[in-house]
Structure 1
C-alpha cells in the first residue's frame, strides 16, 4: 500500500529541488502566510489576463465611433425589366438587360446611436469587475486551506513538546526501576515495560515529525517558500469576534446585480432611434440612370434615420427575463448568508465549548501531576509496579495534550469565524 505521506514528501522534495538556491524561511506568521499564498497561487495570473482582455474589448467597442465601411456586390437576373410603353419616331428607346450587376462601397457614420456604444463599454467594464471579483472569491478559499495547514503544524509542534516531557517522565521511572533491579527489589520485566514505552514514544515522535514535514511542505508550496523543521511558526494572537459579514461573495453578488442593470439600459438603447450619415459609391449596370444599359460609376449620400419598431415586441419579455435573473441572484445571496449564519452559529458553539473545557484543564493537570509524582515515589519504594506508574504517566500526558488541543482548537475556532465572516 502506498504511503500518502511518502508520496507527498517526494512531490515536495522535487518542488524544493527546483529552487535550491532559495534560503530557508526561518519564521512565519499567519498573516504573512495568507498574503504570500494569495500572491503565489497560480490562479492569480488571471488578473492580468482579465485586464488585458477588458482593454481590447473596450478598444473594439470604441471602433463603433469611427466610420463603418462596407463593400458589397451583387449580380442578379430578373424575369422582367422596366420598359417605356411608348414608341417615339426617330428615337431608339433602349431596353434594359435582365442581367444586372452592382459593386459599391458604403460608409456610415453614427451621429446618435441611443447610447449603445457607451453602455456597451460600461457592460464590458462591469463584466471585468465581475470576473475579478469571482477570482477574489476563489483566492479567498486559499486562506482557509492555509489556516488548516498552519494550525495543524502548531498542534504537531505542541504534541512533540509534550512527547518530550512524556519521555522524561518515563526515563525518570526507568532510572529508579533499574536501580531497584540492581538491588534485587524489582524484576527485570519491570524495566522492559518502561523500555517498551520509551520506544513507543520515540516511534510517535517519528510519526509526528513526518506528518509535520508533510504539512510544512504543503504550506511551503502554497507560499512558494522553503520550510523545514527550523522554521518557526508564530502562534497567532486571539482574535475578537465580529458579527459583520464582509465576504468577497457579497461584492460578487452586487456586481452581478449591477451587470443586470446595465443590460436593462442596453435593451432600451437598442430600441431608441438611430441617426447617422452615409455615403455610397460604386459602379453598376444600371447605375443611377435606370434607362442606361452601360456600366457607370455613381455616388450618393445623405442622412439616415432608423427607428427599430420590431424591438418593442420583445421589450417586455426581455425586461421580464432580466427581472427573473435579478431575483435569482437575490435568492442565491440570501441562501449564502443563511449558510454563513449557520456556520458562524456552529463555530461559536465550538468556541464556547473549548472555553468551558479550558476552565477545568489546569485543575485536571494539577491533580494528574500530583498523582504521577506520588506514583513515582511509590514505584521507588516498591509499593506499585511499573504498569501502575505508566498508567498514571499516560493519564497526565493525556490531560496535558487535552489542554494543548483545547487551546489550539479555541484559537482555530476564532480564526474560522474570522474566515467565515470575512473579517
Structure 2
C-alpha cells in the first residue's frame, strides 16, 4: 500500500512538472522545438548518411580486386612453324582453344583520384547540410510572428480589463444617481452596453489567441493549453556592430570550398594509375603456344594506366569552375547588400518606435488626467455618460497605441538580431 501511494505521488509530480512546462514557453524554447520537429531536419541526417556511404564505397577501391574470366574459341588458322627439322617434330596448336583464368590486382596509386572524390563528397555534404540550415533559419521568422502575435493579444486583453474597470466605476456612480433621481436610466444603460462591447472584444481576442496558439503548437509539435503563458523576451539594443552570423554566409563559403576540391579532382583525373597484378589460369594452349596441351600458367607484374583523353576537356572544366565561383561571389555580395539594407531599415524603425513610445507616455498621462476629471464630473452630474465614455475610449486608444508600439519595438529588436543571424 505504501509503495502504491509512492508511485501515485511520483506520477502526480511528473504530471505536474510536465503541465508546468507546457504552461510556459520562451522564445528560445520555441526556436529549439520548431527546429527539432521541422520535417527538413531529417534531411540533414540523410545527407550525412549518403556522404558516408559514398565515401565508404570509394575506400573500397583500394581493396584487392579479383576478376575471373574464361573463353572457348575456334579459329580459322593457328601459328605453325613451316620448317622441317630431322628428329624434331613441332605440332601446330589446335584450332579449338580453351582458357579460364583469374586476375588479382591491387591499386597502388590512382593519382589522388579517390582522395579527391572523398573530399568532394565531404564538401558537397557540407553544402547540402548548410542549405538545410538556411531553410531552418527561415522558420524563426514564422515563430517570431506567432510568438509576438500572442504577446500582443495578451497585452490587449490586459488593457480591456483596465477599460472595463473604468466603465464599471462609471456604472456604479450613475446607478447611484439614477437611484437618487438625479440621472436618467438611459445613461446607465449606455455604460452597460459599452461594457458588453468590451466583453465581445475579449471573446474576439481570446479566439485570435487560440488560433495563434494552435498554429504555434503545430510548429513545435507540442500541445499547448489555450492559456499558455509566453515569457516576453528582454532585449537591449545598443546598435553596436555585431558580426553577421547568417547561415547563408557559411553556405557561400562551403560552396567555394566545394569548387576548390572539384578543381583538385580535375587534376587527379589526368594523373596515371599504377597497380600490381597476378594472373593465374588453366587452358590449352597455356603460355607456351607450341605446346598443344592443357596446362596451368601464371603472370605477375606492374600495370600502368594513363588515360590522356581528359586533357581535351581540362581547361574548359577549370573555366567552368571559375565561372561558378564568380557566381557565388556575386550571390554573396548581393546577399550582404540586401541584409545590410534590411538592418539599416530596422535601425530606423527602432529609432522611430522609441520616439513614439516616449510620446505615447505623455499622451497617456494627459488622457488619464482628462478621464479622471471626467469621472469626477460624471459623479457630480456635470457631464453625461457619453461624454465620460468618450474620454475613457480616448485613454484606451492611447494605451492601445502604446501597446502596439511596444510590441512593434520588441519585434523590430528581434528582427534586427534575426536578420544579423544573432537571434
TM normalised by structure 1 equals: 0.86
CA–CA distance in structure 2, aligned partners of residues 101 and 349 of structure 1:
88
Instruction: Indicate yes or no: 2:397 matched with 1:401.
Output: no
Partner of 1:183: 180
Partner of 1:128: 125
Partner of 2:217: 220
From 138, 143, 147, the equivalent of 2:140 is 143
Larger mean Cα displacement after TM superposition, 108-117 or 395-404:
108-117
Contact in 2 for aligned 1:110/1:277 (Cα 8 Å)? yes
Contact in 2 for aligned 1:24/1:226 (Cα 8 Å)? no
From 16, 19, 23, the equivalent of 2:19 is 23
Contact in 1 for aligned 2:349/2:412 (Cα 8 Å)? yes
Partner of 1:271: 270
- Secondary structure, counterpart of 2:151 in structure 1: helix
Larger mean Cα displacement after TM superposition, 401-410 or 40-49:
40-49
Contact in 2 for aligned 1:82/1:96 (Cα 8 Å)? no
Q: 1:298 to 1:205 in 2, by over 3 A?
A: same
* Structure 1 residue 346: Cα displacement: 1.9
Q: Deviations over 1:112-153 (max 9, x none)?
A: 111122222222222222233222222222222222222111
CA–CA distance in structure 1, aligned partners of residues 75 and 310 of structure 2:
33
CA–CA distance in structure 2, aligned partners of residues 377 and 169 of structure 1:
12
* Structure 1 residue 351: Cα displacement: 1.2
Q: 1:227 to 1:298 in 2, by over 3 A?
A: same
Equivalent runs, 1:46-125 vs 2, <5 Å: 46-74=43-71, 81-82=78-79, 84=81, 91=89, 93-94=91-92, 96-97=94-95, 102-125=99-122
* Structure 1 residue 300: Cα displacement: 1.1
Q: 1:21 to 1:291 in 2, by over 3 A?
A: farther
- Secondary structure, counterpart of 1:23 in structure 2: helix
CA–CA distance in structure 2, aligned partners of residues 145 and 82 of structure 1:
83
Q: 1:380 to 1:142 in 2, by over 3 A?
A: same
Q: 1:85 to 1:237 in 2, by over 3 A?
A: same
Give unmatched runs, 5+ long, in structure 1: 1-18
CA–CA distance in structure 2, aligned partners of residues 252 and 201 of structure 1:
51
* Structure 1 residue 73: Cα displacement: 4.2
Instruction: Give runs of ≥4 in structure 1 deviating > 6 Å.
Output: 87-90
Instruction: Indicate yes or no: 2:202 matched with 1:205.
Output: yes
Contact in 2 for aligned 1:24/1:225 (Cα 8 Å)? no
Give unmatched runs, 5+ long, in structure 2: 1-14
- Secondary structure, counterpart of 2:330 in structure 1: helix
Q: 1:314 to 1:211 in 2, by over 3 A?
A: same
CA–CA distance in structure 2, aligned partners of residues 120 and 312 of structure 1:
18
Larger mean Cα displacement after TM superposition, 384-393 or 72-81:
72-81
Partner of 2:300: 301
Larger mean Cα displacement after TM superposition, 26-35 or 318-327:
26-35
Contact in 1 for aligned 2:350/2:413 (Cα 8 Å)? yes
* Structure 1 residue 78: Cα displacement: 5.8
Larger mean Cα displacement after TM superposition, 206-215 or 380-389:
380-389
Partner of 2:411: 412
Equivalent runs, 1:382-397 vs 2, <5 Å: 382-397=381-396
Aligned length: 404
C-alpha RMSD of matched pairs (Å): 2.7
Larger mean Cα displacement after TM superposition, 289-298 or 111-120:
289-298
CA–CA distance in structure 1, aligned partners of residues 326 and 295 of structure 2:
60
Contact in 1 for aligned 2:91/2:292 (Cα 8 Å)? no
Equivalent runs, 1:350-361 vs 2, <5 Å: 350-361=349-360
CA–CA distance in structure 1, aligned partners of residues 79 and 364 of structure 2:
112
Partner of 1:33: 30
Partner of 1:314: 313
Q: 1:79 to 1:24 in 2, by over 3 A?
A: farther
Contact in 2 for aligned 1:28/1:231 (Cα 8 Å)? yes
Q: Deviations over 1:214-241 (max 9, x none)?
A: 3223333433444325533222112334
Contact in 2 for aligned 1:68/1:109 (Cα 8 Å)? yes
Q: Deviations over 1:35-68 (max 9, x none)?
A: 3332343433344434433332222221122112
Contact in 1 for aligned 2:175/2:188 (Cα 8 Å)? yes
